[in-house]
């Protein structure tokens, strides 16, 4: 009988055998004339938490946003290269961005609940995608999503109150529940804890850990400790380039690249 | 000495005072600037202010007070026979005395003598000099007029002397104050601050002026027509009351006017809100920066066109167009070529006013929509919502309070709009439901009651102020509520 | 976790349960509809603008052309001053029978029989009745002209003017139109002789009010509007700036200044006609100022424009970064010096832009002016702001109420003039903003 930690360890060791959920090949991003990403080749493994780290402005958030084409909403932004989800090229004209985003959800840096009730916040995604039809179905999806986000017990008595009235950490978990409610395959998290206090951060990290069983997760984080705590794979970005991608353990103990080592040691960042 | 000459002299004294003050401060410092608390210019200004300000105040007070004083003394000197006939007669007599006085100064000594001993006719003599009297002059008027002229001349002299004395005395006093450590700058700045305060109080004074003037005139109206008849009357027909045919009951009914005002405003809003709101949404959410930077200013041109131009447009283009199209439509449908839309109608006025309101709705809503934080948009798009779903389900609900405020502001403009309805809505005060016939509005009736010859005693004129205060109160409530909502909305997202 | 065990699968396959129907087609149709609504709203708005402008221009551009008839007028002494009294009686030259001179000249030109009165009447009707004043002014200005024959350019009557511009449908039965066939024939004859022609209409800029369209112009109204704009500028700019400086820089934040703030925002939204009532009650009825005078109009428009200027000025002052203030204060400048030496000059472009826009609004404002009696038939140019005058938009209003079709043309012409002024003012504001726009 292995301990839970040992199982984890065993899983992590087998990381190289986990299939790729998303594959980024020669991904470059331009904002007008300015180039923000340089031919990044990075693959995201299924049911794995992949952490993107690096100093500010290194392109990690930019890369994250290419994964569900949130860059489309920015004027003058152009993406080259190829990104696939399963076998589909997500930048192919035949791929629909709405469908893509229903499969690749996103949680943002600052909690951004809609100015609606908690219930409506979670029901929003299923409602627009027509995933639930009856009141009972909605009730169920709201409850399970909130449960998955570990928020249900805290808010079950005030589902009709505005989501903006929750605390920062609760708001962020509400946003995660909102993303989960659409049942995406991949969840992108853009520094989800940067606006939260340590206790709320711990709760969200724990949640990420649990979500891994059902979702592929890509998380951008500022904090190397957080990357070490929540992820199995880590990718290090610097000045728009992917410096190194490796198992998290290896990355933080014995990185291949000198720059990674310097960053982890706090020589720059 | 004429008032403008006096003013010129005061300004001249001010100039001299400025340079004198400067020179004195320089002399005191012995050429060492650093010893002075304030720059020489401030010393100069200090002296100039002392020379000009009190003198100007005295001048202004005198100009206001002396005519009142002279009037009252001339009035009290009128014969008892005149005074006993009531205030209106006295006022009339006073007016005549003043015109006689204006004429007397043009006469030479012999003509004056002829008038005084009664050998010449007052009216004819004055008429020969180009001064027309409203009635036959009474003999006592010559005396009164001479008294009036004498007092005026005396008052002018005295005023000139006093004002000049105050100016010089102020300047001398101020110059004596100057020393190196004298804080001239602080004094000057205090005066400047006071003038800034006076300037900003004009805004308050305007409001007080609006409210007070309208309340007092409307009060006079309500002493003739009861408020209940005005506010709840359903018939607007002021002319019959003027003929004095059996009182004014029910003739000054506000309701038909208010009904027309609200109806036309409603049509205008129904026309402007969808267009303006969709234009705003498209510009805020979809349009490329290039389209936005051309379409937005072009739409705002509509807001810069004077309303009289819209009125003309309604009169010569939209009205006839609607009339003709209704003729054709009726002909096609029933074979009877008879127009069912009048050229002047609720619809004409409403549509044209709607066109005018489009840019108000669109730019106000645009401001509101762009204030919705980007994070909400991203949150919705990130869940896979389409843009329109994001707009309909997230952005509009979030912006709703602000948009309601913007629409209320627009409604207030529609209610108070004048020129379009004057030219396009018609003058018939009636209550009806069809938008194809003319109706009239509060503003149209204000214009009608107040153009032409006015008599500030008849209810026909005064009713305009009662209408005005109604309009003011309605728009005030709309504005204050709307501004409150918009302010709250802004604070929410700041 | 069975799939983890298989090391050969490198790329995941899409799980079947994720192929769900999320109504893409229907939702994109809705999206396209929504987008179409937005585009059509904008197109509709621009369409209305285009129709409005093109209506005014197409109806109005001909107002800048005027048909004239140049006739050799014989200033015959027999007609003007048969008894040679002009040296003794000043009225003689004023009351002489000038239309007779015109008639004689026209009869001679067309070779008509002067005894056939109806025929001659029809001919003289082609020339504006304003010819009387025109000839009188010539003679009064220079009595020595009497006895000479001088070519004088006279205005054609409004209907002839319209007919010559091709605006009258000549296929309509003669009895149903104002221009008779014979007049048309004469008109063409005179035009062929080069006597009747159209030229640029200076009259529309210089004439005052007239009941005859061809002799009506916006000259008096332009002067009235000019007076009012000057008054508004001179009063509202300093007062507005002073008030804004106090409110923005000095006023303590308390209930009173809050009230002033709300009050100013509200005044900016009060219907303009209410300002007219204020002007009527306070300036005319209470203070006894003259009706119809540009001075009162200027005061009323000043009160109306002040809130706009104050709001714009406060925004401009607010946009000046606090660091500028701190820098000046840190050098020991007083608050007053800081504001007048540093903040105000930096805010000036914004203030001027707001002022120009406020002035443009005031220039087009009509309703309050109606109430203070500026709807007056003013023929003579006002020598001072105290004399009766009218304003450009009010002139438009009065002409719009005239029935004659020639007045529609004049009205549109006057609107074009007004719009040109507004365009230039707004362009000025835009240029000012572009030129001095500063990003902090």
pLDDT score recorded for residue B94? 79
In a 10 Å sphere around its CB, with 0-12 CB exposed, 13-18 middle and 19+ buried, how is residue C348 labelled? middle
Distance, in Å, from the CA atom of C31 to the CA atom of C26, rounded to the nearest integer, reads: 9
Length, in residues, of chain C:
440
Does the beta-carbon distance from C56 to B387 stay under 8 Å?
no
Q: Tokens representing B71? A: 């009037």
Q: Which residue has the tokens 């470059």?
A: A28
Touching partners of C (3+ C-beta pairs < 8 Å): A, B
Distance, in Å, from the CA atom of A131 to the CA atom of A142, rounded to the nearest integer, reads: 12
Instruction: Find the mean pLDDT for residues B198-203.
Output: 87
pLDDT score recorded for residue B166? 92
Distance, in Å, from the CA atom of A16 to the CA atom of C4, rounded to the nearest integer, reads: 10
Distance, in Å, from the CA atom of A182 to the CA atom of A105, rounded to the nearest integer, reads: 8
Distance from CA of A63 to the nearest CA of C (A): 20
Distance from CA of C36 to the nearest CA of A (A): 19
pLDDT score recorded for residue A9? 56
Contacts of C15 in chain A (CB under 8 A): 185
Q: Of A176, A159, A78, which is closest to residue A120 (Cα–Cα)?
A: A159
Q: Which helix (H) or strand (E) holds A190?
A: strand A186-190
Per-residue pLDDT band for A7 (boundaries 50, 70, 90) equals: low
- Confidence check: pLDDT of C50 > 90: yes
Contacts of residue C377, Cβ cutoff 8 Å, sequence gap at least 6: C209, C398
Alpha helix (H) residue ranges in A78-117: 97-103
Residue-wise pLDDT tens digits, C362-397? 999 999 999 988 887 888 888 888 888 889 999 999
Distance, in Å, from the CA atom of A49 to the CA atom of B51, rounded to the nearest integer, reads: 83
pLDDT score recorded for residue B455? 65
Distance, in Å, from the CA atom of B365 to the CA atom of B385, rounded to the nearest integer, reads: 22
Q: Are C341 and C328 in contact (CB under 8 A)?
A: yes
- Confidence check: pLDDT of A269 > 60: no
Q: Chains B, C: CB contacts under 8 A, how many?
A: 259
pLDDT score recorded for residue B113? 76
**What are the C-alpha distances in Å from C211 to residues B316, B401, C129, C204, C401?**
20, 53, 10, 14, 12
Contacts of B301 in chain C (CB under 8 A): 49
pLDDT score recorded for residue C85? 76
- Confidence check: pLDDT of B377 > 80: yes
Torsions phi, psi for C59 (to 5 deg): -80, -25
Instruction: Find the mean pLDDT for residues B292-316.
Output: 91
Distance, in Å, from the CA atom of B169 to the CA atom of B51, rounded to the nearest integer, reads: 7
Does the beta-carbon distance from B299 to C49 stay under 8 Å?
yes
Alpha helix (H) residue ranges in A104-185: 118-129, 135-148, 152-155, 168-180
- Confidence check: pLDDT of C4 > 70: no
Residue-wise pLDDT tens digits, A145-155? 999 888 999 99
Question: Which of residues C21 and A113 earns the better pLDDT score?
Answer: A113
State the Cα angle at A258 between A252 and A263, rounded to 5°. Answer: 55
Question: Which of residues B275 and A266 earns the better pLDDT score?
Answer: B275
Residues paired with residue A245 on neighbouring β-strands, in sequence order: A235
Instruction: Find the mean pLDDT for residues C11-31.
Output: 79
Contacts of C3 in chain A (CB under 8 A): 19, 46
Q: Are C71 and C59 in contact (CB under 8 A)?
A: no
Contacts of residue C146, Cβ cutoff 8 Å, sequence gap at least 6: C75, C76, C77, C80, C81, C139
pLDDT score recorded for residue C134? 85
Distance, in Å, from the CA atom of A223 to the CA atom of A209, rounded to the nearest integer, reads: 16
Distance, in Å, from the CA atom of C112 to the CA atom of B338, rounded to the nearest integer, reads: 47
**What are the C-alpha distances in Å from A167 to residues A109, B488, C369?**
15, 22, 58
DSSP-assigned letters across all residues of B155-221: HHHHHHHHHHHHHHHHHHHHHHH--TT--HHHHHHHHHHHHHHHHHHHHHHHHHHHHHHHHHHHHHH
pLDDT score recorded for residue B240? 44
Touching partners of B (3+ C-beta pairs < 8 Å): A, C
The least confident of B191-195, B338-342, B467-471 is B338-342
Strands C196-200 and C65-74: antiparallel
Q: Are B423 and B306 in contact (CB under 8 A)?
A: no
Contacts of residue A170, Cβ cutoff 8 Å, sequence gap at least 6: A151, A154, A155, A200
Does the beta-carbon distance from B384 to A105 stay under 8 Å?
yes
Based on DSSP, count helices (H) and strands (E) in chain B, helices before strands.
21, 0
- Confidence check: pLDDT of C354 > 70: yes
Q: Of B310, B24, B374, which is closest to residue B174 (Cα–Cα)?
A: B24
Distance, in Å, from the CA atom of C379 to the CA atom of C388, rounded to the nearest integer, reads: 10
Contacts of A75 in chain B (CB under 8 A): 288-289
What is the maximum span of chain A, computed from C-alpha positions, in angstroms? 58
pLDDT score recorded for residue A200? 87
Distance from CA of A19 to the nearest CA of C (A): 4
Contacts of B384 in chain A (CB under 8 A): 98-103, 105, 125, 128-129, 182
Distance from CA of B274 to the nearest CA of C (A): 8
* CATH code that applies to domain A4-114+185-264: 3.40.50.300
* Chain A residues 151-190 within an 8 A CB cutoff of chain B: 175, 178-179, 182, 188
Mention the CATH class of domain C219-436. mainly alpha
Instruction: Find the mean pLDDT for residues A205-234.
Output: 91
Half-sphere exposure of C344 (CA within 13 A, CB side): 17
Distance from CA of A131 to the nearest CA of C (A): 7
The CB density around residue C287, as the number of other CB atoms within 10 Å, is 11
Q: Which helix (H) or strand (E) holds C72?
A: strand C65-74
Contacts of residue A264, Cβ cutoff 8 Å, sequence gap at least 6: A224, A251, A252, A255
Contacts of A14 in chain C (CB under 8 A): 4
Per-residue pLDDT band for C18 (boundaries 50, 70, 90) equals: low
Distance, in Å, from the CA atom of A91 to the CA atom of A83, rounded to the nearest integer, reads: 7
Q: Are C193 and C216 in contact (CB under 8 A)?
A: no
Distance, in Å, from the CA atom of B263 to the CA atom of B256, rounded to the nearest integer, reads: 10
Residues of B with CB under 8 A from a CB of A: 288-289, 373, 375-386, 389, 393-394, 397-398
Distance from CA of A251 to the nearest CA of B (A): 30
- Confidence check: pLDDT of B132 > 80: no
Contacts of residue C26, Cβ cutoff 8 Å, sequence gap at least 6: none
Contacts of residue C130, Cβ cutoff 8 Å, sequence gap at least 6: C155, C210, C212, C214, C215
The least confident of B21-35, C43-57, C300-314 is B21-35
Helix crossing, C24-60 with B289-304: angle to 10°? 40
Domain boundaries, chain C: 61-201, 219-436
The minimal CB distance from B383 to the residues A75, A101, A113 is found for A101
Does the beta-carbon distance from C9 to A19 stay under 8 Å?
yes
Domains within chain B, CATH numbers bracketed: 3-182 (no CATH), 238-492 (1.10.3720.10)
- Confidence check: pLDDT of B74 > 90: no
Give the rounded percent of residues in chain C with a pLDDT score beyond 90: 31
The least confident of A161-170, A213-222, B35-44, B475-484 is B35-44
Per-residue pLDDT band for C7 (boundaries 50, 70, 90) equals: very low
pLDDT score recorded for residue B416? 93
Distance, in Å, from the CA atom of B7 to the CA atom of C251, rounded to the nearest integer, reads: 32
**Running DSSP on this structure, what letter comes out for residue B236?**
B
Torsions phi, psi for B263 (to 5 deg): -65, -50
- Confidence check: pLDDT of B359 > 90: yes
DSSP-assigned letters across all residues of C268-279: TTS-HHHHHHHI
Distance, in Å, from the CA atom of A171 to the CA atom of C56, rounded to the nearest integer, reads: 57
Question: CB contact, 8 Å: A106 with chain B?
Answer: yes
Does the beta-carbon distance from C49 to B195 stay under 8 Å?
no
Q: Which helix (H) or strand (E) holds B128?
A: helix B122-128
Q: Does the predicted interface ipTM exceed a cut of 0.95? A: no
């Amino acid at each position: 009988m292995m301990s839970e930690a040992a199982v984890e360890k065993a899983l992590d060791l087998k990381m190289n055998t986990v299939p790729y959920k998303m594959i980024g090949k020669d991904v470059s991003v331009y904002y007008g004339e300015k180039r923000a990403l340089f031919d990044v080749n990075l693959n995201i493994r299924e049911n794995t938490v992949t952490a993107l780290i690096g100093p500010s402005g290194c392109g990690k958030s930019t890369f994250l946003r290419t994964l569900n084409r949130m860059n489309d909403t920015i004027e003058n932004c152009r993406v080259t290269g190829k990104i696939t989800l399963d076998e589909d090229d997500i930048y192919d004209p035949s791929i629909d961005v709405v469908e893509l985003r229903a499969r690749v959800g996103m949680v943002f840096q600052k909690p951004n609940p809609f100015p609606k009730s908690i219930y409506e916040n979670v029901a929003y995604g299923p409602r627009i995608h027509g995933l639930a039809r009856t009141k009972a179905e909605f009730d169920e999806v709201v409850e399970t999503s909130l449960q998955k986000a570990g928020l249900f017990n805290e808010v079950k008595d005030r589902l009709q109150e505005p989501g903006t009235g929750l605390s920062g950490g609760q708001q962020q978990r509400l946003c995660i529940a909102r993303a989960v409610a659409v049942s995406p395959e991949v969840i992108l998290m853009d520094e989800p804890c940067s606006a939260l206090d340590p206790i709320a951060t711990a709760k969200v990290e724990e949640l990420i850990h649990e979500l891994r069983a059902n979702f592929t997760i890509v998380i951008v984080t500022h904090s190397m400790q957080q990357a070490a705590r929540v992820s199995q794979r880590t990718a290090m970005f610097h000045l728009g380039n992917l410096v190194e991608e490796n198992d998290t353990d290896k990355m933080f103990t014995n990185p291949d690249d000198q720059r990674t080592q310097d960053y982890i040691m706090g020589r720059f960042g | 000495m004429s008032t403008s000459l006096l003013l010129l002299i005061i300004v001249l004294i001010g100039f001299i005072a400025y340079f004198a003050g400067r020179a004195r401060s320089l002399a005191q410092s012995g050429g060492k600037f650093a010893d002075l608390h304030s720059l020489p210019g401030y010393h100069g200004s200090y002296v100039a202010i002392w020379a000009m300000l009190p003198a100007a105040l005295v001048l202004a007070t005198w100009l206001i007070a002396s005519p009142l004083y002279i009037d009252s003394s001339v009035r009290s000197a009128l014969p008892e026979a005149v005074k006993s006939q009531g205030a209106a007669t006295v006022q009339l007599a006073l007016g005549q005395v003043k015109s006689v006085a204006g004429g007397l100064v043009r006469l030479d000594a012999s003509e004056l003598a002829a008038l005084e001993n009664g050998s010449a006719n007052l009216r004819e003599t004055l008429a020969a000099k180009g001064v027309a009297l409203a009635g036959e002059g009474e003999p006592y008027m010559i005396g009164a007029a001479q008294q009036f002229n004498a007092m005026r001349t005396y008052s002018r002299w005295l005023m000139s002397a006093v004002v000049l004395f105050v100016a010089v005395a102020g300047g001398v006093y101020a110059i004596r104050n100057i020393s190196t450590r004298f804080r001239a700058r602080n004094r000057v700045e205090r005066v400047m601050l006071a003038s800034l305060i006076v300037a900003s109080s004009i805004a308050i004074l305007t409001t007080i002026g609006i409210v007070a003037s309208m309340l007092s005139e409307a009060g006079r109206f309500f002493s003739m027509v009861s408020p209940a008849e005005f506010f709840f009357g359903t018939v607007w027909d002021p002319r019959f009351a003027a003929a004095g045919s059996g009182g004014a009951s029910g003739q000054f009914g506000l309701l038909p006017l208010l009904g027309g005002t609200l109806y036309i405003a409603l049509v205008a809003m129904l026309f402007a809100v969808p267009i303006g709101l969709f234009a705003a949404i498209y510009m805020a959410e979809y349009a490329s920066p290039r389209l936005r930077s051309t379409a937005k200013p072009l739409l705002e041109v509509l807001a810069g066109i004077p309303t009289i131009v819209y009125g003309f447009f309604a009169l010569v283009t939209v009205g006839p167009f609607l009339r003709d199209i209704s003729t054709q439509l009726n002909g096609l449908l029933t074979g009877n070529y008879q127009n069912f839309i009048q050229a002047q109608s609720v619809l004409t006025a409403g549509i044209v006013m709607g066109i005018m309101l489009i840019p108000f709705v669109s730019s106000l809503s645009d401001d509101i929509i762009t204030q919705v934080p980007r994070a909400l948009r991203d949150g919705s798009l990130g869940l896979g919502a389409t843009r329109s779903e994001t707009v309909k389900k997230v952005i509009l609900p979030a912006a709703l309070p602000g948009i309601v405020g913007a629409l209320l502001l627009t409604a207030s403009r529609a209610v108070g709009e004048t020129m379009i309805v004057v030219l396009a809505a018609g003058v018939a005060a009636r209550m009806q439901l069809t938008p194809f016939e003319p109706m009239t509005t509060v503003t149209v009736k204000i214009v009608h009651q107040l153009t032409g010859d006015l008599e500030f005693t008849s209810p026909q004129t005064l009713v305009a102020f009662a209408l005005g205060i109604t309009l003011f109160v309605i728009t005030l409530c709309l504005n204050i509520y709307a501004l409150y909502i918009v302010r709250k909305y802004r604070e929410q997202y700041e | 976790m069975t799939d983890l065990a298989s090391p050969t699968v490198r790329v995941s396959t899409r799980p079947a349960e994720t192929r769900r129907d999320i109504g893409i087609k229907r939702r994109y149709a809705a999206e396209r509809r929504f987008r179409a609504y937005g585009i059509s709203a904008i197109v509709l708005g621009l369409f209305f603008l285009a129709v409005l402008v093109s209506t005014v221009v197409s109806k109005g551009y001909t107002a800048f052309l005027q048909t004239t008839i140049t006739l050799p007028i014989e200033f015959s002494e027999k007609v003007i001053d048969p008894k040679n009294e002009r040296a003794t009686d000043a009225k003689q030259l004023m009351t002489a029978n000038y239309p007779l001179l015109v008639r004689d000249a026209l009869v001679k030109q067309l070779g008509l029989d002067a005894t056939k009165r109806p025929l001659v009447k029809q001919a003289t009707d082609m020339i504006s009745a304003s010819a009387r004043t025109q000839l009188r002014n010539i003679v009064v200005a220079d009595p020595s002209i009497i006895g000479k024959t001088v070519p004088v350019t006279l205005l054609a009557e409004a209907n002839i003017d319209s007919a010559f511009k091709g605006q009258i449908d000549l296929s309509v039965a003669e009895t149903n139109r104002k221009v008779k066939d014979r007049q048309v024939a004469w008109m063409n004859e005179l035009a062929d002789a080069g006597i009747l022609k159209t030229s640029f209409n200076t009259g529309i800029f210089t004439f005052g009010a007239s009941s005859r369209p061809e002799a009506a112009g916006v000259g008096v109204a332009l002067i009235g509007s000019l007076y009012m704009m000057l008054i508004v500028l001179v009063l509202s700019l300093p007062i507005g700036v002073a008030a804004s400086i106090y409110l923005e820089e000095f006023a303590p934040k308390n209930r009173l200044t809050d009230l002033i703030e709300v009050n100013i925002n509200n005044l900016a939204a009060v219907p303009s006609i209410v300002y007219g009532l204020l002007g009527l009650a306070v300036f005319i009825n209470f203070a006894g100022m003259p009706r119809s005078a540009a001075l009162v109009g200027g005061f009323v428009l000043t009160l109306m424009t002040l809130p706009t200027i104050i709001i714009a000025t406060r925004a401009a002052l607010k946009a000046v970064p606090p660091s500028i203030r701190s820098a000046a204060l840190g050098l020991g400048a007083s608050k007053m010096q800081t504001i007048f030496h540093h903040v105000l000059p930096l805010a000036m472009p914004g203030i001027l832009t707001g002022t120009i826009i406020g002035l443009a609004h005031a220039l087009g404002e009509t309703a309050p002016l109606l109430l203070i009696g500026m709807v007056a038939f003013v023929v003579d140019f006002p020598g001072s702001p105290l004399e009766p005058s009218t304003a450009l938009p009010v002139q438009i209003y009065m002409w719009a109420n005239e029935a004659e079709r020639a007045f529609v043309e004049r009205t549109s012409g006057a609107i074009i003039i007004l719009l040109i002024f507004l365009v230039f003012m707004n362009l000025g504001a835009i240029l000012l903003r572009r030129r001095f726009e500063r990003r902090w």
